[in-house]
Structure 1
Amino acid sequence: MPIEIKMPALSPTMEEGTLAKWLVKEGDTVRSGDIMAEIETDKATMEFEAVDEGTIAKIAVPEGTDGVKVGAVIALLAEDGEDAGSVSGESTPQPAAKESEAHPSPKDPNKTGSEARPAPEDDRDHGKPADAQVAKDEPKPGTAAPAQNDGDRVKASPLARRIAADKGLDLSQLTGSGPNGRIVKADVEQAKPGAAPAPKAEASQPAPTAGGSAPAPAAAPQIPDVPHETTKLSNMRKTIARRLTESKQQVPHIYLTVDVRLDKLLSLRGDLNTSLSARGVKLSVNDLMIKALAAALIQVPKCNVMFTPNELVSFKRADISVAVSTPEGLITPVITEADTASLSSISTRMKDLAARARDKKLKPEEFTGGTASISNMGMFGIKQFEAVINPPQGMILAIGAGEKRAWVMEDGSLGVATIMSATGSFDHRAIDGADGAELMQTFKQLVENPLGMLA
């Protein structure tokens, strides 16, 4: 039997993907670990490796195909000793058949998978007399029911299908008298030839409501009559839109802002970069912000949490998801154990993750699982903003630009200092306002006295 190669789930949020490129062709021999295709998920373009060995007998989904559901058969693999030519001529298993295996009929509630198979059909060669097979297809009194569709697949016996094809009948127009509305031989023989097929547009219309009218479809946005171009949404952009909409609709956000003086941190950064230059490490302000947030979460553990419907999860370490902008959208690679990691380690890892994020080469474990997030738009001159929480995390910190402002110094005199505004967005179901305020106060103290985060 040929091996079905199915669309894999290459990220935790992946429901469908784009088969970007096949790296093999029909007739090629593959071994376990060979790269067969490049698949675009909702987060990255990833390589798909072979698990089994054999010959590519059939490519069922051509490269460039969008919206391929996870679990859909994309190719068939002939095993050693199997004729690839004969396999390639077989039809790809239909989704409807898979659906019927996964969901057994009410008559056989205890059967699933390979056990829930239909009884032998009347047109199969089992050595039975023709009269016996006709009798098997005769309807029982009171069992007539409309033909049932399984998606676009009408339930009918193979013999009934063959007779219908010979007579030019459309099975979707017939009423089945077999079990569960199945169309059998007698139904087809009694039907008149030339039955017109039902218009597909009518079949796809939603059923009328109790009031007799079908629900109106959602109206598409009206595009202004202005010269424009359209770009198809990528899987990443669709996922971003869905998750951020869910976040704003389902997570009650509370926003807390503090102004932070950066002068000591900038001075420390300069000294550290001088010391690290021989190792080729150059710290960014963002590296120090990641460290400060991680340290603050450990000092205020009530904010290092995740809300679930039945539990409040408190984390023992701080893994920081860092927002990185790519040509297709935002992705958040994770700096694990940022609370105990050195600044040089954070800097080196962040540069590597950001580069591979823009090339869509991140692995799923590198952009999932953080305990809190940070988003820095200071490099764009943005003074202050409110970021959307990245579910299921409990908070995200938005970092603005450092700028020269009038400031009251420690001795009470008025001077000029480099000031940055930072805004925390908190899930108010899990984090009270006072706890969020304590985290922001701790973050401010660590940035203004940066040696404390290194101790």
Structure 2
Amino acid sequence: MPVEVILPKVDMDMATGQISRWFVTEGAVVKQGDVLFEIETDKAAMEIDAPASGILLDVTGKEGVDIPVGAPVAWIYADGEAYGADAVAKQDEAPISPLVGEMSAKPTEGGAVPPASHSAAPASGLPAISPTRGEISQSPLGARATPLARRLAREAGIVLSNIAGTGPYGRVVKADIDAAIANATPRVAPEAPAAAVASAPAPKPMSDDQVLKLFAEGSYELVPHDNMRKTIARRLVEAKSTIPHFYLTLDCELDALLALRTQLNAAAPVKKTEKGEVPAYKLSVNDMVIKAMAMALMAVPDANASWTDSAMVKHKHADVGVAVSIPGGLITPIIRHADEKTLSTISNEMKDLASRARSRKLKPEEYQGGTTAVSNLGMFGIKDFAAVINPPHATILAVGAGEQRAVVKNGEIKIANVMSVTLSTDHRAVDGALGAELLGAFKRMIENPMGMLV
């Protein structure tokens, strides 16, 4: 039997994916484990291997087209396995489970099953289509069809024997099923009872036509959304629509942290590499922010949570996601157990994750989940901003640029390096006072950074 090649689910939230490119062509001989194609999700590009050895045929997955998860994109036939007329004959001879609407008769006393009547309309309301491409002998148990066509027909409630196949040797193919569905008479749904009180319709975004009418023709270029951008847009709309965001902002003085960072980097041991001798680590301010956020969550464990409708998920470790800008979007690789890791470990791990994120080589487990996130736009000179929470997180910390500001100390005006941070919280899980407690713990870690070393 041929082996189905499907579009796999490589992301927890993945509903569709796109084949960015095929590495083999239809009719090619492949071995199990050979790379067949590359798929693009909103997070990464991943290579998909052949599940079996044989000949790649019935390729339906097109490059650059959204494909549902689990949908077949091709079939692999074993070397020497019948295909075409011979395969059709063998399929007709093999016992086949009855399709919807094809068999309703029970065995007679002699055990024979009378042929199913094809004169009745299919249960789905799809039209009965008579063969038009010459006479094709039909098995009483089913029509000649590709495995994909059989599955689609079964899902749509189509009687295969009523379909005129346009494939090789009169075989029913996917296009025939699509045509039958397109020509079907829509079924009328029963009228729903009138609501007691008519609710106001939900506001809808402007349509494409409404947007384009606002601009002179020829004054713009249309750039189709890729899968990453569409998924990012969908998730952001869901997050802002379903999570009640609450925001808290405060300032942190950085002088002690910057001094400690300089000392630690100067004390870094040297290691030999292909490029020569390099420091074993080089700490950034963001590395120390990650550590401070992780320790703050452990100091305020009630804020280290995720919301579900049935229960509060209380996490035992701080897994900190870090927003990384990549071409066409962003991704949030995660530092697992950041509360337990040293600053040097966090720094080196973050550099590796960011590098592989930009080349879209992260594994799903390296960016899925997490208990909080950090988004830093300080390198762009942004003073402060508010970030959107990424479910299942209940918090995200937006970090602004460090800059010299005038501060009052002991009644005197002093100059200090200060950065503003804004904590976004899911108000269902983290109330205002709890969020303030978490942000206060973070501020103490930043302004007394020696605590991150013990």
Q: TM-score, normalised by structure 2?
A: 0.75
Partner residue, 1:425? 424
Question: Any idea what the Cα deviations from partners look like across 1:410-441, whole Å, max 9, x if unmatched?
Answer: x4422100000011001110111111101101
Secondary structure at the aligned position of 1:297 is classed as: helix
Report how far residue 86 of structure 1 moved. Answer: 3.6
Query: Is the contact made by 2:370 and 2:392 (CA closer than 8 Å) also made in structure 1?
Result: no
Secondary structure at the aligned position of 1:233 is classed as: coil
Amino acid at match of 1:269: R
Q: How does 1:428-447 map to 2 (within 5 A)?
A: 428-447=427-446
Find the aligned partners of 1:88 and 1:59 in 2 and give their Cα distance.
19
The alignment status of 1:246 with 2:238, answered yes or no, reads yes
Query: Is the contact made by 2:39 and 2:48 (CA closer than 8 Å) also made in structure 1?
Result: yes
Secondary structure at the aligned position of 2:340 is classed as: coil
Report how far residue 89 of structure 1 moved. Answer: 8.6
Return closer, same or farther for 1:254/1:81 CA change in 2, 3 Å cut-off. Answer: same
Partner residue, 2:291? 291
Find the aligned partners of 2:398 and 2:117 in 1 and give their Cα distance.
71
Query: Is the contact made by 1:57 and 1:88 (CA closer than 8 Å) also made in structure 2?
Result: no
Report how far residue 205 of structure 1 moved. Answer: 12
Partner residue, 1:74? 73
Secondary structure at the aligned position of 1:440 is classed as: helix
Q: How does 1:329-340 map to 2 (within 5 A)?
A: 329-340=329-340
Find the aligned partners of 2:320 and 2:85 in 1 and give their Cα distance.
49
Question: Any idea what the Cα deviations from partners look like across 1:225-277, whole Å, max 9, x if unmatched?
Answer: 16111211111111111111111111111111110000010011111111126
Query: Is the contact made by 2:127 and 2:184 (CA closer than 8 Å) also made in structure 1?
Result: no
Return closer, same or farther for 1:218/1:265 CA change in 2, 3 Å cut-off. Answer: closer
> Match for 2:261 among 265, 269, 293?
269
Amino acid at match of 2:226: S
Query: Is the contact made by 2:252 and 2:419 (CA closer than 8 Å) also made in structure 1?
Result: yes
Question: Any idea what the Cα deviations from partners look like across 1:311-348, whole Å, max 9, x if unmatched?
Answer: 00000000001001111111101111110111111111
Query: Is the contact made by 2:102 and 2:117 (CA closer than 8 Å) also made in structure 1?
Result: no
Q: How does 1:149-298 map to 2 (within 5 A)?
A: 149=124, 154=126, 156=128, 161-162=130-131, 219-220=207-208, 221-223=210-212, 224-225=215-216, 227-276=219-268, 278-279=270-271, 280=279, 281-298=281-298
Return closer, same or farther for 1:184/1:335 CA change in 2, 3 Å cut-off. Answer: closer
Partner residue, 2:408? 408
Secondary structure at the aligned position of 2:268 is classed as: helix
Partner residue, 1:23? 23
Secondary structure at the aligned position of 1:288 is classed as: helix
Report how far residue 88 of structure 1 moved. Answer: 11
Unaligned runs of 5+ in 2: 89-95, 106-113, 136-156, 163-178, 195-200, 272-278
Q: How does 1:284-363 map to 2 (within 5 A)?
A: 284-363=284-363
Partner residue, 1:142? none
Query: Is the contact made by 2:324 and 2:354 (CA closer than 8 Å) also made in structure 1?
Result: yes
Report how far residue 369 of structure 1 moved. Answer: 1.0
Query: Is the contact made by 1:148 and 1:182 (CA closer than 8 Å) also made in structure 2?
Result: no
Amino acid at match of 2:423: G
Report how far residue 29 of structure 1 moved. Answer: 3.2
Return closer, same or farther for 1:402/1:203 CA change in 2, 3 Å cut-off. Answer: farther
Equivalent pairs, count? 384
Question: Any idea what the Cα deviations from partners look like across 1:347-381, whole Å, max 9, x if unmatched?
Answer: 11111111111111111111101100110000010
List, as ranges, runs of 4+ consecutive aligned residues in structure 1 with deviation greater than 6 Å.
87-90, 163-166, 180-185, 200-211, 215-218
Return closer, same or farther for 1:201/1:245 CA change in 2, 3 Å cut-off. Answer: farther
Find the aligned partners of 1:436 and 1:183 in 2 and give their Cα distance.
61
RMSD: 3.7
Secondary structure at the aligned position of 1:65 is classed as: coil
Query: Is the contact made by 2:245 and 2:427 (CA closer than 8 Å) also made in structure 1?
Result: yes
Report how far residue 184 of structure 1 moved. Answer: 10
Amino acid at match of 1:79: A
Secondary structure at the aligned position of 1:162 is classed as: coil
Amino acid at match of 1:252: P
Partner residue, 1:453? 452
Query: Is the contact made by 2:23 and 2:36 (CA closer than 8 Å) also made in structure 1?
Result: yes
Find the aligned partners of 2:161 and 2:72 in 1 and give their Cα distance.
30
Query: Is the contact made by 1:37 and 1:48 (CA closer than 8 Å) also made in structure 2?
Result: yes
Secondary structure at the aligned position of 1:59 is classed as: coil
Question: Any idea what the Cα deviations from partners look like across 1:113-159, whole Å, max 9, x if unmatched?
Answer: 9576654599xxxxxxxxx86x94566xxxxx7x6657xxx353xxx
Q: How does 1:117-128 map to 2 (within 5 A)?
A: 119=102
Secondary structure at the aligned position of 1:276 is classed as: coil
Amino acid at match of 2:450: L
Return closer, same or farther for 1:206/1:19 CA change in 2, 3 Å cut-off. Answer: farther
Find the aligned partners of 2:85 and 2:44 in 1 and give their Cα distance.
33
Find the aligned partners of 1:335 and 1:88 in 2 and give their Cα distance.
55
Aligned-residue identity in percent: 45
Report how far residue 80 of structure 1 moved. Answer: 4.1
Secondary structure at the aligned position of 1:349 is classed as: helix
Query: Is the contact made by 2:240 and 2:388 (CA closer than 8 Å) also made in structure 1?
Result: yes
Secondary structure at the aligned position of 2:369 is classed as: coil
Secondary structure at the aligned position of 2:439 is classed as: helix
Report how far residue 208 of structure 1 moved. Answer: 12
Find the aligned partners of 1:418 and 1:138 in 2 and give their Cα distance.
83
Return closer, same or farther for 1:86/1:203 CA change in 2, 3 Å cut-off. Answer: closer
Report how far residue 42 of structure 1 moved. Answer: 2.2
Report how far residue 442 of structure 1 moved. Answer: 0.5
